[in-house]
Amino acid sequence: MKDYGIFDILGPIMIGPSSSHTAGAARLGKMAKEIAADDSFYKVVFYLHGSFAKTYKGHGTDRALVAGILGMGPSDERIKNSLNIAKEKGIEVEFIEKDLGYEHPNTAKIIFSYHDKDDFYIIGSSIGGGNILITNINGNEVEFSGNYPTIFVKYKDQKGTISRISSILAKEDVNIATMKVSRERKIATMVMEIDNPIKDSIIDNIANLDEVIYITGINPIGR
């Protein structure tokens, strides 16, 4: 039996018309931008799956997703005009209806394109009540909600890396809530949810480890 609090029942404060199609979509877009951690993209392509593909226009899912990648949260009144705001900023957006395979009905693949580096993508779903689940980052399978501060690290798989990372966190007085590590061709991917807000010093210290290839920290996005 899931427990509910006051603000699960009275809330979220959001831009209508649908918590999964609009509020969840805005969070998904914003989370994708936070994970990509680089705002210099000139183009974003959204592959929309399932119910997202069928009803995105009427529900404003397209505007909410674009609002998210522009950094707006689910209760930002500019969501309605996000397509124009993106145009003014010179960011190209495109929506493609596509079957992404066996995924949650409200799923999007969001691809960021940059002039000076490779594309970056995430796949995530809006799973109801404005909640989201990120399931893939650039081909790495992950699973996290964005409700907690989350650290995403890619590193060359070597003995002792996990202990080096966890001791950095211990020194910063940070408690690890969940941790998942997967591995492909000697490259490991770690997703950690922690109890405290992410500070730059944590990210900098982990990034300084020789084996670390990529790291980003994402603080929770309000519902």
Partner 1 sequence: MFNKGSELLNLCKSENKKIWEIIIQKEIEETQISYEELMENMNSILNVMINSANAALDKEITSVSGLIGGDAKKMEDYKNTENTISGSIIISAIAKALSTSEINASMGKIVAAPTAGASGILPSAIICVKEKFNLTNEDMIHGLLTASGIGEIIAKNATISGAEGGCQAECGVASSMAAAALVEMVGGSVDACFNAASFALLNIMGLICDPIAGLVEFPCALRNASGVVNAMISADLALAGIKSIVPFDEVVDAMYKVGKAMPESLKETALGGVAATPTGEKIKKQIL
Give the residue with the Cβ less far from partner 1, 35 or 221: 221
**Per CB under 8 A, 222 contacts partner 1:** no
Give the residue with the Cβ less far from partner 1, 38 or 99: 99
The Cα 182–Cα 143 span in angstroms is: 11
The Cα 69–Cα 221 span in angstroms is: 13
Positive/negative CA dihedral, 32, 35, 40, 41: negative
Print the binding letters for residues 68-87 with partner 1: x by CB under 8 A, - otherwise.
Answer: -------x-x-xx-------
CB of 76 to partner 1, least distance (A): 9
Max intra-chain CA distance, the chain:
51
Radius of gyration from C-alpha coordinates of the chain: 18
Print the binding letters for residues 182-201 with partner 1: x by CB under 8 A, - otherwise.
Answer: --------------------
Contact between 169 and 161 (Cβ < 8 Å): no
Task: Please state whether 50 falls in left (phi above 0), alpha (psi between -120 and 50) or beta.
Answer: left
CB of 41 to partner 1, least distance (A): 24
- Give the interface size with partner 1 as a residue count (CB under 8 A): 36
Residues near partner 1 (CB under 8 A) are 1-19, 22-23, 51, 54-55, 57-60, 63, 75, 77, 79-80, 128-130
